[in-house]
Amino acid sequence: MSGCNHAQWQPPHDYRPLERNSERQTWAVVILTGLTMLVEIIAGYWFNSMALLADGWHMASHMVAIGLAALAYLLARRYAADQCFAFGTWKIEVLAGFTSALLLVVVALFMIGESLSRLWSPVAIGFDAALMVAVIGLLVNLLSAWLLRDQHDHGHGHGEHGHDHSHEHASGGKDLNRHAAFIHVLTDALTSVAAIIALLGGKFFGWSWLDPVMGIVGALVILVWARGLLRDTAKALLDREMDDPLVHRVREALQEVPDTEVADLHLWRVGRSQYSCILSLVTHQAHTADHYKAALQGFPQLVHITVEVNRCDESAHLDHRQ
């Protein structure tokens, strides 16, 4: 249509906050984890400590998982303007978090298998040297956890784009990619603590069996954390959002408009706390799509709204506006 400015109806669809700080911190943790992992695995084999060896291999998997998190930040940033992604690249980060959770499950099962093997066939453990390495591993894990802690980063607004395409990032919402990396280093810290307790018990009380037992306990805790991470990331990836309280609030706001029924409503996340929404409404009135969008102005989480208005007395007429 000549002479018409389409820009106001074609805003960007990147709903991610700027993540350069998180990206740099994640790469720093990858390097720290990789170096510590090498030391722990070599020491675990050398001193025959299952708890220390489990901690080292656990850390190895975390180095891969945290590397995926850092790579996800890089790819999400690089392809942010790629129009092949219908609603931006936020789900690249969520996919990395889901993959990290799967790796946690694999690591936990490996730890259980190795610990059971050591319970069945005990070996001599070099307690003093293994303790020193385990303490170093714990300190590195705590430093990594501090780097990846939730800093409640606030998104950066991008101005007004008009026509209900608010592109202002809400400050709420969990960074699932960063949270997955944080859970990985936290489970590393847990297994380091378990290794230290097991080694102290073996050194001072002769409880060599405590080493593989603590490996099993640590693995079970990891499985619990992995389950929660799998649930959160899978929910976002599968667009399982229709039980969100926001759905009920949106439906109520629309039905407060006189002579209006909500025939169909779909809502899904396109960012940490940003949602896209498609509505199909039925009315006898001459209300337009813009009229119903105005009724949803109190929901800043809705950054992309599409409304279909079906009139009972003019069933052949559909008002589609975006």
E strand residue ranges, 127-250: none
| Cα–Cα dist 32/111, whole Å | 22
Between CA 208 and CA 119 the distance in angstroms is: 9
**16-25, 103-112, 176-185, range with the lowest pLDDT:** 16-25
Q: How open is the CA angle 255-261-262, to the nearest 5 degrees?
A: 85
Q: How far apart are CA 281 and CA 87, in angstroms?
A: 23
Interatomic CA distance for residues 86 and 205, integer angstroms: 61
The segment with the largest mean pLDDT, out of 49-53, 83-87, 316-320, is 83-87
**Closest to 6 in 3D by CA, of 156, 167, 165, 157:** 165
Q: What is the pTM (predicted TM-score) of this model? A: 0.69
Angle at 230 between CA 227 and CA 233, to 5 degrees: 150
Q: For residue 195, is pLDDT > 70?
A: yes
pLDDT class for 147, splitting at 50, 70, 90?
A: confident
Cβ atoms of residues 310 and 263 within 8 Å: yes
